[in-house]
Amino acid sequence: MKKHLLRLPVQFILTCLGLFLFSGAGSLLMYDHELVIHIAKYLHTLELILKDLLDPGNILIRVEADGKDYPIFPMLLKLFGYSFLLLASAFLIAVVSAALLSYLSMLLPRRAHRFFLRILDLLDSLPDVLVVVILQLFIIWLFKKTGILFFDMYALGEERIYVLPIICLAVMPIAFLIKNFLFQLSEEGDKPYVEFSFSKGFSKAYTLWVHLFRNVWISFYYHMKPIFLLMLSNLLIIEILFNINGFMAAMLSVAVSEPSAFFIGMLMIYVPFFILFSLGQLFITKYTGIHEEVES
């Protein structure tokens, strides 16, 4: 435990250093008849980033909605709050839905369970963009049939839309989440305490919900980072397809033009989630005795 606590600051500093070096990568490669690695320009860009960090109030970012430049603060904070409200809401809906569907699928007869797994494989093979387009077309079809536009489908200017982006963002990783839950449930199902529960006369439904899922949630926590990264990349797709003036779209636009803003934006993503995951890992290690490395 103490060794892990000492390793966290080193891990944090090295990751921040890596993000800093990555933020200037846009100036490292140049094309002039052939691809050239421009070390001098890259080092100059890193130097400019350090200077900008000393006075971040002078950093400007362009908002695509109106084409104007704004100071990075508070504009980036506003975009961050909106985008990560969408992300957090979708993540909660996706996890709860996946857990319930996984639980119900484990209660199905064997043939029905296999059919459910085939449907999951089919859904998991669909491109994320296709899933969003299908949902958009479904809303358009409903509008033509009923004359009612159930959800706003496109953000205009600084307008903010919530429901359909959250639904799409939650649906996109749900097959992956269900397969993750089912895999962990199958691993837990082979352990002796499950047979002991059945021998005590407890039903399959009770054993699944009370015993298996309690341990699965702990294992699931250690798989949250790849799921978070998956949904973070999906957030960019959602912002582009729904014309949302959001945080990820802003990061895409400043990646090359404003490396200082890009570095600050990456820190805004990394720092809070590093703290969250680290505290969660320390809590689980202390109160359950289970210790696994969660890479940043």
| Domains in the chain: boundaries | 1-59+260-296, 74-257
Q: What is the pLDDT of residues 153-180, one digit of tens each?
A: 777 666 788 888 999 899 888 888 888 8
User: What pLDDT is recorded for position 295?
Assistant: 44
Instruction: Fill in the DSSP letter of residue 147.
Output: S
pLDDT bracket for residue 291 (50, 70, 90) = low
User: What mean pLDDT value characterizes the chain?
Assistant: 82
What's the average model confidence in pLDDT over 267-288?
82
- CA torsion, ordered 201, 204, 209, 212, to nearest 10 deg: 90
Q: How far apart are CA 165 and CA 17, in angstroms?
A: 33
Q: Give φ, ψ of 61 to 5 degrees.
A: -125, 145
Q: Tell whether the torsion through CA atoms of 206, 207, 209 and 210 is positive or negative.
A: positive
pTM as predicted: 0.82
CATH of domain 74-257: 1.10.3720.10
Q: Is the pLDDT of residue 296 over 60?
A: no
Q: Give φ, ψ of 71 to 5 degrees.
A: -60, 145
Q: What is the pLDDT of residues 119-129, one digit of tens each?
A: 888 888 888 88
Q: How far apart are CA 210 and CA 202, in angstroms?
A: 10
Mean pLDDT is lowest, of 8-22, 104-118, 183-197, for 183-197
- The amino acid occupying position 135 is L
What's the average model confidence in pLDDT over 137-141?
87
Nearby residues of 166 by Cβ (< 8 Å), 6 or more positions away: 86, 89, 90, 93
Q: How much of the chain exceeds pLDDT 90, in percent?
A: 17
User: What pLDDT is recorded for position 139?
Assistant: 85
Q: Is the pLDDT of residue 50 over 70?
A: yes
Nearby residues of 149 by Cβ (< 8 Å), 6 or more positions away: 139, 143
Q: What is the pLDDT of residues 232-272, one digit of tens each?
A: 888 998 988 888 888 998 888 888 888 999 999 999 999 99
Q: How far apart are CA 27 and CA 45, in angstroms?
A: 7
CB 246 within 8 A of CB 82: yes
User: What pLDDT is recorded for position 1?
Assistant: 55
